[in-house]
Structure 1
């Protein structure tokens, strides 16, 4: 029999990146000191299930748990080979387990925060919002929900979806094989059937690295496809046949123009992947989550709806065009990224991906990518936006 419900001021559904970042910032802010917060997730989050990478200038708030930092990026294709100094930026990687453990340790110090292991079945909205779990029911003044709306999976004709799907190995070698001073953002010399597919390499030391095979495609592939290309890359690029796979990670990040914002209500605010906080054109989420959490909290304190002006319309439009090109002409991906990395400064590229550019900088990016594919996508999107 289900027990009586627990009551909170805020309930956060999902103890992933967005849920924990939100809880941490609520806990730090004196404004919310008297608010009770319940975090509901079916998992104890006690394993490493993903790796987050991001760029930023100088020191950041997550540096204590950063696995590795790089100041040089590489881009390779059959046409070009670039080694890109990141200037004032640095590229950082965090393992999810370290993030979960650090977050839970910090949050456990606050008596007004409660972790709950339960699976949410539904949300009932009324005078008081209710979360119906498999073990118990809960009530709250407001709910922050990171789950993807079910309509995302059913109304597939109403949005463009590119799968960022990947398989990665963390490997160790007996002899030095990697340059830990530079990471490889994209290596397109190992394409699968002329699709937008590439190798991503994060060298943690001369003998340890994360090597990942990634697709930006409308389709997915069987597991043995990733394995074959990972093996081929390690053999041809690093002359490696013998190595130890100490960890494997797989994933599928939605790159989409789905209208997540339509699913906010008076008592439920979508967050994280369920709110479209994963950038549609790249799949990056870590810094976007950090920014959106800050905006969300500022909105609450100002008396606005938490979701008030969380996204910039022009970048949604840009992402929509890019996704349309990748969906309709996926073979164009390598050309797009060749132009993007070779024709723009690292500062302009990162500012654009961080959604911080001026319109003049936007025009420079557009000029570098000018092609018939983008013209066609522009007009297709314009009449639907």
Structure 2
């Protein structure tokens, strides 16, 4: 009764999108699949944002859309229409309800709310131990991330994109509900790469997030004070209600998580290095990698043989080398890019859809010296 063809550990974005892809492919109709998560996935614990042209696969659960972005730095201020792109936001509770709802209605996927203790791999199967039961599976997909997976090596730096966000509601209309503040570097940098990110849900309601790209986290009070100060200075607002809070940390590293894969165990999502190393954006990166994993599974080859790295991994590696070497100057890179290029070009490059000619245009928009130094250090 506890034997499965596939066991998916973690019902986050990668686990649910993988399970849903299996539901949509007849190859898996006769397969027994187990989805494990310690939580019921019944709370709104995060938001996912992305950009795309036109309507996409998540359209039914998109909570809010914007057609314009605001970028600000020390020497640049841009308010720009981003068409044909649209910036979109999904609340996690809507994502869970949609995808986990489909899983619970399926006949060949079982969802179990159980915490993983450990698993053991043999030549023919993987045995999974939870706090309640023991399961066996032919193949395991694990989305549970631990920073120790990446920090036990010195070849690639490991930064964090860490943040605290408040959703506030004000008495007066102080936000432009049609415009996302994508990055505001006008705030004190304090030796790191720091910016504010604002998603206005309405003219009196917005998510305001204090975000850093750095190695170490801050004390909780420092995030809160920065958000409070920004609301006062940027919006001249003293009175507001905090209706939601969120916090998180996303790894930023070019470390090859493939070193943890085996013939029967594959790490997915953030644990598999699916978060875009240079930005931390994960949802659309995951959505593009899941179909590749599904196609690979049909070949029934050892899981560790699937390779997903390309030229953009190399670009991200150099960018993170630069940030790691001089984190205080991180804002100058983004300011140079947005001062030189249209946001449509930036989005296309970050989507990893640019040609080599377009790559060169993007790279030329960056400060040259730190990237040349990073490249020479990698070569020599």
TM-score range, shorter chain: over 0.9
Aligned to 2:3: 7
Q: Distance in 2 between matches of 1:164 and 1:259?
A: 18
Of residues 262, 270, 274 in structure 1, which corresponds to 2:267? Answer: 270
Out of 60, 67, 90, the position equivalent to 1:64 is: 60
Paired residues for 1:89-104 under 5 Å: 89-104=85-100
Aligned match of 2:214? 217
**Counterpart among 18, 21, 34 of residue 22 in structure 1:** 18
Aligned to 1:369: 366
Q: Is the 8 A contact 2:263 2:303 kept in 1?
A: no
* Alpha-carbon shift at residue 272 of structure 1 (Å): 0.4
Residues 371/346 of structure 1: CA separation in 2 closer, same or farther (3 Å cut): same
Deviation of the 1:48 alpha carbon: 1.3
Q: 1:179-198 counterparts in 2 under 5 A?
A: 179-198=176-195
- Once residues 147 and 323 of structure 2 are traced to their aligned partners in structure 1, the CA distance between those partners, rounded to angstroms, is 24
Which structure 1 residue ranges, 4+ long, deviate > 6 Å from structure 2?
A: none
Tell me how far 1:330 sits from its aligned partner: 0.8
- Matched-pair contact (CA < 8 Å) for 1:296–1:307: no
Helix, strand or coil for the counterpart of 2:2? strand
CA positional deviation for 1:118: 1.6
Q: TM-score, normalised on structure 1?
A: 0.95
Q: What's 1:360 paired with?
A: 357
The aligned residue for residue 258 of structure 2 is 261
Q: Which residue number in structure 2 is paired with residue 165 of structure 1? A: 162
Structure 1 pair 154–121 and aligned structure 2 pair: CA distance change class (3 A): farther
Does the Cα contact within 8 Å between 1:13 and 1:145 map onto a contact in 2?
A: yes
Q: Which residue of 2 aligns with 1:40?
A: 36
Q: Which deviates more from structure 2 when the two are superposed, residues 190-199 or residues 138-147? A: 190-199
State the Cα distance separating 1:56 from its structure 2 match.
Answer: 0.7
1:248 and 2:248 correspond: no
Gap change, CA 1:167 and 1:108, over 3 Å in 2: same
Deviation at 1:319, TM superposition (A): 0.9
Question: 1:229 and 2:226 equivalent?
Answer: yes
Give the corresponding residue for 2:295: 298
- Tell me, yes or no, if the aligned pair for 2:261 and 2:303 is still in contact at 8 Å: no
Label 1:150 to 1:322 Cα distance change in 2 as closer, same or farther (>3 A). Answer: closer
Per the alignment, residue 125 of structure 1 pairs with: 121
1:316 corresponds to which residue?
Answer: 313
How far residue 348 of structure 1 moved from its aligned partner, in angstroms, is 2.3
Aligned length: 379
Residue of structure 2 aligned with 1:114, choices 110, 133, 142: 110
Q: Which stretch shows the higher mean deviation, 246-255 or 257-266?
A: 257-266
Cα distance in 2, alignment partners of residues 187 and 216 from structure 1: 14
Q: Secondary structure at the match of 2:154?
A: helix
Q: Take 1:121 and 1:55, find their aligned partners in 2: how far apart are those partners?
A: 37
Deviations 1:173-197 (A, max 9, x none): 1111111111000001112314210
Q: Where does the alignment leave 5 or more consecutive residues of structure 1 unmatched?
A: none
Distance 1:184 1:283 in 2: 17
- Are 1:349 and 2:332 matched, yes or no? no
**What is residue 325 of structure 2 aligned with on the other side?**
328
Distance in 2 (CA, whole Å) between partners of 1:229 and 1:105 is 38
